């Protein structure tokens, strides 16, 4: 059997670096409560995705987190209004503020709701030098009117990956959601409720583990190379 080729990879050695444990486990850690934005996908007066999100927010707060629940009422369709629209500005500011998110959608026609998708579509991958979602944690949940399904959470996972988020392994899918909440809108004790506790607990853990190392986690060779090439072009243009 031949020996593996010993030469260096075909990369720019000045930009190619090995991951470092000291940057993944920094000694200096943030002390403020972890910050979470919760998005839900229904405008109904008794919205079960909103009620489930409110229950998740209570759990996150009880575990030491700080939460904000975005009300999508009045948010225009993507590209249906300027980016200066008040609801768009509010959503983007919250996306920049948080360190983790919870997305909760009803399942409609076997998919996530358009209301939740519109919120995600209004959050760009980058705002100038700021990346509102990259490297932040994400938990996904769904509510169903019938038997348990995972169509919405599966789609949300695809979106979370597209938005470059760290989507945690656990998830919640609440079947026949109309049976799981009391008249006051509180979720009743059940195996479904226990799963929500598990998901929020896991979200807190992943957020505490990763938030201080996010700059190192999302630092990519291809982007360093792209930045270096753009800088070189600007320098060359000035010298002409």
Please give the model's pTM, rounded to 2 decimal places: 0.88
Strands 137-143 and 66-69: unpaired
pLDDT, tens digit (0-9, with 9 covering 90-100), for 141-163: 999 998 898 999 999 999 999 99
**Mean pLDDT in residue range 201-216:** 93
Given pLDDT bands bounded at 50, 70 and 90, which one contains residue 127? Answer: confident
Q: Which residues contact 16 (CB under 8 A, 6 or more apart)?
A: 9, 221
Range scoring the smallest mean pLDDT among 111-120, 127-136, 190-199: 127-136
Reading the block at residue 125, the tokens are: 């991958």
Name the β-bridge partners of 172: 141
**Mean pLDDT in residue range 204-220:** 89
Given pLDDT bands bounded at 50, 70 and 90, which one contains residue 216? Answer: confident
Decide if pLDDT at 99 tops 60. yes
* Number of residues that make up the chain: 240
CA distance 51 to 57: 10
Q: Which residues contact 37 (CB under 8 A, 6 or more apart)?
A: 67, 68, 70, 94, 95, 97, 98, 100, 101, 102
């Amino acid at each position: 059997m031949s020996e593996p080729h010993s030469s260096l990879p075909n990369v720019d050695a000045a930009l190619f670096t090995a991951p470092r444990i000291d940057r993944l486990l920094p000694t200096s850690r943030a002390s403020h409560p972890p910050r979470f934005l919760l998005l839900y996908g229904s405008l109904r007066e008794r919205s079960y995705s909103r009620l489930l999100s409110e229950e998740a927010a209570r759990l996150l707060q009880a575990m030491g987190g700080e939460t904000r629940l975005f009300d999508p009422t009045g948010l225009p369709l993507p590209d249906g209004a300027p980016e200066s629209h008040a609801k768009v500005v509010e959503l983007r500011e919250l996306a920049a503020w948080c360190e983790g998110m919870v997305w909760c959608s009803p399942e409609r026609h076997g998919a996530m709701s358009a209301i939740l998708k519109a919120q995600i579509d209004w959050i760009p991958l980058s705002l100038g030098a700021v990346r509102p979602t990259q490297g932040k944690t994400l938990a996904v949940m769904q509510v169903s009117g019938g038997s348990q399904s995972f169509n919405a959470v599966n789609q949300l996972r695809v979106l979370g990956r597209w938005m470059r988020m760290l989507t945690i392994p656990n998830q919640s899918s609440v079947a026949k959601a109309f049976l799981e909440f009391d008249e006051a809108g509180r979720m009743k004790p059940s195996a479904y409720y226990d799963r929500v506790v598990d998901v929020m607990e896991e979200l807190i853990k992943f957020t505490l583990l990763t938030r201080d190392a996010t700059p190192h986690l999302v630092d990519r060779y291809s982007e360093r190379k792209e930045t270096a090439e753009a800088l070189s072009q600007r320098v060359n243009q000035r010298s002409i």
